[in-house]
Structure 1
Amino acid sequence: MEFRKSHQFMLCITAFFGMAGGTHLAPVLPEMVAPLHTTSAEVALLMSVLTISTAIFTLLIAHYIDRVNRKTVLIPCLVVYGLTGLFCFFASDMQSLLVLRFLQGIGVAGMLTLPLLMIGDVFKGHDSVKPISTISISFAIGAISVPLIGGFMAMVAWNLPFLFYALALPFALVVWAFLPETRGAEHAGNRNGIKEAFCALRDIRVFSAVFMGFAVYVLLFAMVIYVPFLLKSLFSYSSGSSGIMLAIEGLAVILVASRVHSLTRRYSVLPVITLGFALVGASLVLMAFFPFLAAIVLLLILFGAGYGLAQTSVDVLTVQVPPPENRGGILSIHTCGKYLGGSIAPVILGIVLVFLGMEGVFVLAGIFGLVMAAIAYGIRNKFAGPAGAAGQ
């Protein structure tokens, strides 16, 4: 079956749902404290447990993903994702929610990896940059804009946002019926697993791409978790208002990510990644020193621009650099690294919050972003070749 625009759109929806697994709840967390009889630190675990679970199950998926058909993995992941979200809606205590969120990570693990892998199956060379950018825009929309949906749903009831995840159930039927299988016949005998994928990390280019994915998510989760708390402490913002602020930033992500195709053709991938990390780092540092509404809006837009450049370009790099026989395993490790970053961020920054306050959280996260910009610039010569092949 020919791979059409409608099929690519299905992969975009899958990516959107996958990223929404975490960020959909970000502005809702403050509203969950009272009904769950818990604290801000404990309710943040609803984000961390999902990221930890996703990191674990991406490694399990990595062992099989290059051996089996893509839809064999994708459809069960969509079903698990939707069912656990539905059950979360009916849960009324933290323990049950934490267990269900951990199980939901099984679905997220496949949903974040398969869209990029299937694009890599179909498109080659520089032809892959634009569709990868489209998938990354979907990741960005899911990461940044769905908090707006979650925030307003929480204004009706604190648990209503969980029903959003159940939309994956009817979508799984659509994928089963209409999405073609992309794994080529030439890979039918491929028995590569997690061992071979980790061996591929000895290539500095592959390792660098995976590590930068980890760093992007450390910075993303620093922003989506602590900006709503910053807005609530400074301006008494509700979850809905915080969601609007994050959605404004999401517009910057979408606009900038859509330009990555032309930017990487002109300047190559690593300079674009460098600029992205620099913008993200600078915006986070400056948030600590300009606690004014207009300044925060501008800095969120700056963060969105940097995130759009960094996230999209790192995804391009991670699809193009690995050998085809290990691409699925490397992309799974890439997803694991991202969610490991998302798991570590609230833990480390939570400790920073206790000792250095909210300002310290943003300064430390911003410095990390600037360091990553320097690293990306320093290794640019390792990526020789044209932009469409992860060029210099």
Structure 2
Amino acid sequence: MSETQTPTKATLWVIVASATLTIMAGAILGPVVPQIQSGLGVSESLAGLIITTHAAFIVLTSPIAGALVDRFGPRRPYVFGLFLYAVGGSAGLFIDAFVPLLLSRAVLGVGVAFVYTGITVLIFDLYEGQRMDRALGLRSGANSFGGATWPVVGGLLGTISWQLPFGVYLVAIPLALLAIATVPPTGRGSAAHGRSAGEAKRTDSARSLDGSASVVSIVRRRPALPFVYLLYFGANALLFAIVVFYPQLLATIGVTSSSYIGLYLAANGIAGGVSGVLYDRLNRRFGRHLLVLVAFAFWTAAFALATRAGSPLSALPPVVLFGLGLGLVFPSSFAWIESLAPTSRQGQFGSYLATFGYVGQFLSPIVFGPIVTAFGVRGVFGAATLAAALGVGAITLALARRNSVEYRLRKVR
């Protein structure tokens, strides 16, 4: 944590509220895709681009946002991102042509990239220890609760007009004003931060590397970094296996109403919110590695149960178990980046989480889609069961090796 003013309770809640915007970017329009298609007079696939285009621009611009956060500190890029989010997101209130609306979604994606990375580094800079774990857990919980509630809001507003849900993006403006008033500068990017980072490098060379070091050289010195990105990529890919394919599974057991399907997805989000809120206490008691192992065990059980679900009631535990695991994995991923990345490059390396996460979401239907053709929709969850079980095995081996090394070190001492 760099030298900074003491954050207040209001600081944390503004940051947490902003975290819900990153999931809202696409979630709030999901229920009104048919109305958008009709209102714009385009095909279903083109209407779907209105939902997904922002994600592509998050992937493209997150590294730029990370570099700017490291250079200027997280506060200004974060506030800039909130205003850009409001402009790009709310444009649909006034635009009723496909191409201009698509361009506005690109602007939204750039705004999300700055908000996402700004929040990450603000938490790293403003909090430490259990307070940082609590902030990361609340951030994850806010994302999960947002995933459960924003589609409901969008669906309700969409019954009035397909353009009305775009107005919800304007909530970013009061959040930006509150952020200006409550979020303090962190010192990152200033001379003061440069001195503190230099002292950290001299006193804790195991954690900090020279700011001019290449990404490849840093990853070589921190071989755990690729595994954190792989973990975050996999978690997002599995999440979208639920989002995309669980409605198809529910249809096989007679659940076809969009409102009932929404309840299952909401249960997933609420479960993730609960485990996210409890994350700091669970981490203090059990440790990050064990929590991620438990999450993969939850996922293995969830997907295995999904392959056997034969009634509406039996289809509920899988989404609850998956959500509980997600609320443990997401904050753990961010906490590991904070501990592994060089202090002066946390914006850059934190931004890669956004890149890997959204690429995972994009690739999920591409990877799992052929399985539906070959084995049916239950085959998707069979493959996901195998992937999660492999994760359990890999983490168990890593923990065993880690404990063995620690045991040998204790014997030498």
TM-score by length of 2: 0.82
Opposite residue 267 of structure 1, the aligned amino acid is F
What's the C-alpha RMSD, in Å, of the aligned pairs? 3.0
- Mark the CA change 1:142 to 1:370 in structure 2 (over 3 Å): closer, same or farther: farther
Which residue of the partner structure matches residue 277 of structure 2? 258
CA contact 2:250–2:315 (8 Å) conserved in 1: no
* Structure 1 residue matching 2:185: 3-state secondary structure: coil
The 1-side partners of 2:127 and 2:111 are apart by 25
Pairing partner for 1:318 from 321, 331, 337: 337
Distance in 2 of aligned mates of 1:372 and 1:97: 40
Larger gyration radius, structure 1 or structure 2: 2
Counterpart code for 1:215: G
Instruction: Describe the SS at the equivalent of 2:72.
Output: coil
Cα separation, partners in 2 of 1:379 and 1:131, compared to 1, 3 Å: same
Structure 1 residue 296 displacement after superposition:
1.8
**Match in the other structure for 1:9:** 13
CA distance in structure 2 between the partners assigned to 1:134 and 1:380 by the alignment = 26
State the Cα distance separating 1:33 from its structure 2 match. Answer: 4.9
After TM superposition, which residue ranges in structure 1, 4 or more long, deviate above 6 angstroms?
189-195, 382-386
Is 2:90 the counterpart of 1:86? yes
Identity %: 23
Report the Cα distance in structure 2 between the residues aligned to 1:372 and 1:27, rounded to whole angstroms. Answer: 33
Alignment match of 2:297 (pick from 278, 281, 291)? 278
Query: How far off its partner does 1:381 sit?
Result: 5.7
Please state how far the C-alpha of 1:50 moved relative to its aligned partner. Answer: 2.2
Q: In the alignment, does 2:280 pair up with 1:267?
A: no
* 1:229-267 C-alpha deviation (Å, 9 max, x unpaired): 5556742313x4433332222221122222222222222
Indicate which of 211, 215, 232 corresponds to 1:213. Answer: 232
Alignment partner of 1:302 is 2:306: no
Any conservation in 2 of the 1:66–1:193 contact (CA below 8 Å)? no
In the aligned structure 2, how far is the partner of 1:40 from the partner of 1:282?
35
CA deviations on 1:134-184 (whole Å, 9 max, x unpaired) are 222222223343222223333333333222212112322222233211235
The equivalent of 2:143 in structure 1 is 139
* Native 8 Å contact 1:279 1:305 kept in 2: yes
Match of 2:219 in 1: 201
Matched with 1:389 is none
After superposition, the C-alpha distances for 1:200-233 in whole angstroms (9 at most, x for unaligned) are: 3331222221221111111122222333455567
Unpaired runs of at least 5, structure 2: 199-209, 407-413
Listed as ranges, the matches of 1:154-169 within 5 Å are 154-169=158-173
Secondary structure in structure 1 of the residue aligned to 2:314: helix
Which one is further off, 211-220 or 355-364? 355-364
Higher mean Cα deviation, 86-95 or 25-34?
25-34
Structure 2: how far apart are the matches of 1:228 and 1:13? 28
Aligned to 1:55: 59
2:44 and 2:311 map into 1 onto residues whose CA distance is: 23
